[in-house]
Amino acid sequence: MPSLEADLQAHLLGDAAIAAQVADQAENEARLWPEERPADNRALPALVYHVIVCVPQNNLEGGAGGDSCLEQARVQLDVYGKSHDQAIGLRELVIARMRLGASDLSLTAILNFRSAGVDPETRERRELLDFSIWHKTA
């Protein structure tokens, strides 16, 4: 069964512009993490995602395989940047990519809201994006 987290990561990194911005050449990986940024990798820009809630779409008649094979999730994506412009630039790429949805329709998203902030100690910019996502599980 495909996982929401794996499909979300693949979808975001499937965009060349996003992948280039969050590429970490030294670590040979992307700066895209679940739940929090690692303490030993503070390079920017970076993305962090949180699955807030995930609800299966059930019905009494069932769908393929006896269930609907669809789940609705609320996902928060945090976009971190060194500057306001860097954070806004990556934020806009992420919003555009999420609105596009996956080519196989396994992931469809609607932006619920966004907000912004600045860490008072590090002066890093953070753009919070809250999405409703419909994800095919089979």
For residue 1, pLDDT beyond 60: no
What is the C-alpha to C-alpha distance for residues 66 and 111, in angstroms, rounded to an integer? 30
Domains in the chain with CATH codes: 4-136 (3.30.70.1700)
- Per residue in 46-103, pLDDT (tens digit) is 999 999 998 877 666 655 444 557 888 999 999 999 999 999 999 999 999 998 877 6
- C-alpha to C-alpha distances, 72 to 13, 31, 107, 110, nearest whole angstrom: 21, 25, 10, 11
